[in-house]
Amino acid sequence: MKKSDWAPLYDRLSPFIDDAARTHYRGDRHKGFKFWAVGQVLMGMGLSDDALKDPLELDGRGDLGLDGYYEDADSETLILVQSKFHDKPVAVGNDDLNRFFASLRKILDPNVVVASKNPLAQDAHRGAREAIAKGWTLRFVFVTSGYLSPEGRVFAESKRDETEAIDSVVVRKELEVYDLEKLEEEYKRNLTPARLNTDVTLSIPRQDRHVSSIANFQVLVAAISARELVSAFRDHGYALFRLNPRYSLQQNTINSRIKKTLEDPASRKWFFHLNNGITALCDTFREENGSVHIRDLQIVNGCQTTVTLAKVAPIVEADPDVKVLLRVFEGLRGIPVNISEATNMQNRLTAQDRKSNDPLQQDLKRRFDALLSPVFYEVKRGDWQVEQVQGDPERYRDRQSNVYRRINMVDLAQATLAFLGEPGDAKDKPRSIFENESLYKKVFPDQVRPEQLLLPWYVYKEAERLCAEWTQFSGAPYARFCLTAIVGRELAPSKQLPSAHDASRLAAQADRIVTILRRGQQAITSLVAALDEEYPGHREFFRSGDFFQKIVRTYEAMPS
């Protein structure tokens, strides 16, 4: 990217950075950029806003050159993050990248970590040590609003994939650098303009296709030229994936493998055999000589394959021998959840993804949207990003705060579970809410209404606000779920959500809620002081059910 190209690119992305800054950091654009940029890179992990934001609290005095870290047990990877924000064109070279790469040594040195006096750095130290002992990959992610210098590009490429022996363990280290140009590429994958219908005509010779009737439904199975998919995506973009639980999952290991296969002439001819193919639904399809006309094609498995093929379109379009397996089911729109769940095994499908098409969640989405002050309820990963460009985001903007009224399904589930008395699991085990059906029904009971869920959400956001102001206590970022649970004990002692009417009445008692939260802060401060040297550290203290009960007892013993 040329220096002269930076300003228009920065201007295009600034509204999204500003949105993150207003929503999460009271307008701090440095933090807003970091949250937005890391969110683009880690889209495939399916992190809630809370899970994305928490690890980034490490950034600050004594962070040892690291802004955050994420543990991905599914891929056995520890992700280390550094962010550099500039509101003017700045070249990023070897020095910045080398310092980031060298931060690992500081994090692993217990003496340096203790001297930093940053308790979150101590958690990062434990996380790094444990990851190395288990032989996990260390993935270094550097995001910047500047641009890479030629020397920086050479350095990034040289460190893209290497191994190092650490404590007698051979560890794989990967460096990924995302400057403003590359971040826009990541973001654009969710911003392709959509059409209302997705009719396509695919050129498929008769000998390459077969149609049969299975369980009274027509099914097309075909070996199609990959360039047919590229053409369909060029025409319709992400509208092809409306029934896919995840939209596009941005860049991940599987996308990279697909791309690598396509770029290698020797491997490309085997693509049909190496790839799981495409599974799709449609209203109807009709054969005509060497073509198949498909009405309202919806890809429920193969989103990433399709997007990656489009990304390397020149290669695919120049090689008609790149084939893809296609299965199209006619008339199955009534059961898209079963098809998408059963076929979506090529990539990790999170528990949240599996609930994204739940009729209860879809009903909640409609009801949140129908409120007097409509709320955008994000049930699918990437949903809000698509809305910002393809929909009407302004109807969700709060004119007083200039912040969008938006709630992510996982964040709401965590806040509600904490409110109902389980703050440790709410913070550390959000996936269990969607995997454990009884827990899911506790948080999202049948016929639940937005007003019932907005009560714990309001309490949680007030707890978050007070924790941001609680500068005297270094563990404040960990405390908000615990404080939400304390309020829940007072407002919902039955550990069930109040009715919609009662929830609205309780949410209006703002002074009472703030009073309970402040008393909760006092109880936490008293207990931490009493534990003294037996205090186990912020992370363990706030994830433990036993310590939560001790906080409650301390709270109840305090004078009214």
In a 13 Å sphere around the CA of 73, the CA atoms on its Cβ side amount to: 5
**Domains delineated in the chain:** 3-187 (3.40.1350), 192-344 (no CATH), 353-557 (no CATH)
Collapsing DSSP to helix, strand or coil, 448 comes out as coil
Confirm if 294 and 201 have CB atoms less than 8 A apart.
yes
What pLDDT does residue 345 have? 40
Among 341, 344, 342, 337, which Cα is nearest to 360's? 337
Report how far residue 474's alpha carbon sits from residue 457's, in angstroms, rounded to the nearest whole number: 24
Buried b vs exposed e over 331-345: b needs ≥16 C-beta within 10 Å? ebeeebbebbbebbe
How many helices and strands in the chain, by DSSP H and E?
Answer: 28, 17
Letter for the amino acid at 220?
L
Confirm if 453 and 418 have CB atoms less than 8 A apart.
no
Residue stretches of the chain with pLDDT short of 70? 1, 189-197, 215-216, 244-255, 331-351, 353
Collapsing DSSP to helix, strand or coil, 53 comes out as helix
Collapsing DSSP to helix, strand or coil, 100 comes out as helix
Report how far residue 553's alpha carbon sits from residue 523's, in angstroms, rounded to the nearest whole number: 9
Q: DSSP strand E in 145-266: where?
A: 147-148, 161-166, 169-178, 200-203, 209-214, 217-225
In a 13 Å sphere around the CA of 257, the CA atoms on its Cβ side amount to: 9
Cβ neighbors of 17 (< 8 A, separation 6 or more) are: 29, 32, 33, 36, 145
Report how far residue 167's alpha carbon sits from residue 174's, in angstroms, rounded to the nearest whole number: 18
Report how far residue 94's alpha carbon sits from residue 99's, in angstroms, rounded to the nearest whole number: 8
Report how far residue 300's alpha carbon sits from residue 342's, in angstroms, rounded to the nearest whole number: 10
Report how far residue 95's alpha carbon sits from residue 80's, in angstroms, rounded to the nearest whole number: 17
Buried b vs exposed e over 20-34: b needs ≥16 C-beta within 10 Å? bbbbbbeeebbbbbb
Q: What angle, rounded to 10 degrees, do the helices at 150-158 and 94-108 form?
A: 40
- Identify the sign of the CA torsion 255, 256, 261, 262: positive
Prediction pTM value: 0.72
What pLDDT does residue 245 have? 53
Token pair of 147 as six digits = 């641009």
Confirm if 426 and 418 have CB atoms less than 8 A apart.
yes
